[in-house]
Every structure is written in structure tokens, then in C-alpha cells.
């Protein structure tokens, strides 16, 4: 694997080890809890590193075989991180509201994307301002803005994603449910108040820490890039020595 995995010190600096109050824990998170301090669960970062490595290896391998990944994170505090890092990795993302049916009823969601593309094309018409009144153009702009907010991040997604990366599976429970229904592998940051058994590659960590989310998501970005590089090198013709 060619992805750099954060050290224990890196994770500690971001507060990745802080879980939730003991009273809010999910029993299935027990294997990833090291201890408790001041009624707060402390996550076992040795297991975080181990699981993050496995998750990164999986993502890299999947991408190297031409698979598509979708980044998901809609909490207000991390929306910009998901958008910026997904764009850096060149992958689709959902950072606003998860639309029910994004996976289980993708054809309907795709129609919204097509509508957005068609509206944008209309604006490119040289006679656009002549054909429509100022009021009509304003309505178009508002509709474009509204649809773009809903599906702008997945406009390049032409089929159901092959795998998904999620931040906070409690917040994104609908996405997890849809992925499980379609048997799509899920890599996710799982805090102590969530059930890690719901996903294929849980990465136990503090999903409320912006710095932690940024650090772990950057590993996913690296894994995507590494996977693409591997795919590219596999496609390059090999020159045999004489």
C-alpha cells in the first residue's frame, strides 16, 4: 500500500480518541473502547490505526480496479471538508441532505441531475436573455441553485457507486441503510455512540472533531489517488527486455 497512515501522535493531536459520554454508548462499539475518563469513553487508537489501514487498502484496491466511490457527510461542521476533499480526489459527494433513494432509486435521482444539466445548457444559449423575461430568468436561477444544492455533488455519478465513505453513520443512517440493502461496501468513521457492525470497514474515531474528520478523510483521498495511479501503471504497456 502506498498511502501514509497517521501515527498515534497525529490522531491524539486531533482529539480522535475522545468518544461520547458513557451513557450514550452503543454496546457494539465496545471492542474499540480503550477506557473511560470523566464519564467519557476513550477510543483505542491502536485499533483505529489498524482499521484505517485496512480501509485505505480496500479503497485503493477497489479504485485500482475501476470502481467508483461516493463521499458522504452532511453535518454542518464538516460539509466543506467533504466537498473540498471529494473534489481534490475527483469523486462524487453528498454534503447537503441525503436524498432518500439516492442508491435504491438512483434513476429518479439521475433525472434531477439531467434536469440541472438541461437548465444550465439553456442559460448558455446566445439568445437566452431574448427568449426569457427577467422574471423567468430569475426563476431559472433559483431552480438551478436549488437542484445544484441537492444533487450537484453527484452530477458526474452515472451509476450506483461501488463503495461509499461516510462520516457519522448515525447522522447518515439512511445512506447506510440503502448501501446495506444494495450490498454496497461502506467505509466509515464510527464513534462510540454508533454501531460499527453496520459497516464493512469501521474506523473508530471522534466524528465530531473537525480535525479528526479532516485527517481521516485525507487518507481516503490518498487511497483514491493511489488506486488511480496503480490502475494507470497497470494499463501502461510493458517493454520487454531483449
Categorize the per-residue pLDDT at 236 as very low, low, confident or very high, splitting at 50, 70 and 90: low
Q: How far is CA 38 from CA 19, 21, 22, 104, 205, in A?
A: 11, 9, 9, 42, 18
CA nearest to 8, candidates 43, 54, 57:
43
CA nearest to 40, candidates 67, 62, 16, 20:
20
Residue 240 has pLDDT above 60, yes or no: no
Domain ranges of the chain: 8-103+160-234, 106-153
Conformation bin of residue 17: beta by default, left when phi > 0, alpha when psi is -120 to 50: alpha
The overall longest dimension of the chain from CA atoms, in Å, is: 72
34-50 pLDDT per residue, tens: 999 999 999 999 999 99
Element (H, E) at 208: none
pLDDT, the chain, mean: 94
Measured CA angle at 53 (ends 154, 84), to 5 deg: 30
**What mean pLDDT do residues 195-218 have?**
98
> Is the separation of the CB atoms in 33 and 205 below 8 Å?
no
80-116 pLDDT per residue, tens: 999 999 999 999 999 999 999 999 999 999 999 999 9
Residue 238 has pLDDT above 70, yes or no: no
The CATH class of 8-103+160-234 is alpha beta
CA gap 44, 48 in Å, rounded = 7
162 grid coordinates: 461501488
Conformation bin of residue 176: beta by default, left when phi > 0, alpha when psi is -120 to 50: alpha
46-61 pLDDT per residue, tens: 999 999 999 999 999 9
Residue 117 has pLDDT above 70, yes or no: yes
CA gap 206, 191 in Å, rounded = 5
The fold adopted by the segment(s) 106-153 is Helix Hairpins (1.10.287)
159-177 pLDDT per residue, tens: 999 999 999 999 999 999 9
Amino acid at each position: 500500500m502506498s498511502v501514509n497512515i497517521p501515527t498515534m501522535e497525529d490522531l491524539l493531536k486531533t482529539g480522535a480518541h475522545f468518544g461520547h459520554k458513557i451513557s450514550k454508548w452503543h454496546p457494539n462499539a465496545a471492542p474499540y473502547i480503550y477506557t473511560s475518563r470523566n464519564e467519557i469513553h476513550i477510543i483505542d487508537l491502536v485499533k483505529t490505526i489498524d482499521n484505517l489501514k485496512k480501509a485505505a487498502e480496500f479503497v485503493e484496491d477497489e479504485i485500482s480496479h475501476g470502481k467508483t466511490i461516493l463521499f458522504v457527510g452532511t453535518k454542518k461542521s464538516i460539509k466543506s471538508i467533504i466537498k473540498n476533499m471529494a473534489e481534490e480526489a475527483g469523486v462524487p459527494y453528498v454534503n447537503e441532505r441525503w436524498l432518500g433513494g439516492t442508491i435504491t432509486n438512483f434513476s429518479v435521482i439521475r433525472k434531477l441531475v439531467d434536469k440541472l444539466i438541461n437548465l444550465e445548457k439553456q442559460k448558455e444559449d446566445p439568445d437566452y436573455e431574448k427568449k426569457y423575461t427577467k422574471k423567468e430568468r430569475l426563476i431559472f436561477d433559483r431552480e438551478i441553485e436549488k437542484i445544484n444544492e441537492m444533487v450537484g455533488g453527484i452530477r458526474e455519478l452515472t451509476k450506483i457507486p461501488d463503495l461509499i465513505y461516510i462520516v457519522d453513520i448515525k447522522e447518515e443512517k439512511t445512506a447506510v441503510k440503502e448501501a446495506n440493502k444494495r450490498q454496497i461496501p461502506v467505509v466509515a468513521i464510527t464513534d462510540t455512540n454508533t454501531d460499527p457492525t453496520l459497516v464493512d470497514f469501521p474506523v473508530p474515531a471522534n466524528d465530531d472533531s473537525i480535525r479528526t474528520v479532516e485527517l481521516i478523510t485525507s487518507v481516503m483521498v490518498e487511497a483514491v489517488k493511489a488506486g488511480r495511479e496503480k490502475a494507470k501503471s497497470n494499463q501502461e504497456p510493458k517493454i520487454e527486455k531483449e
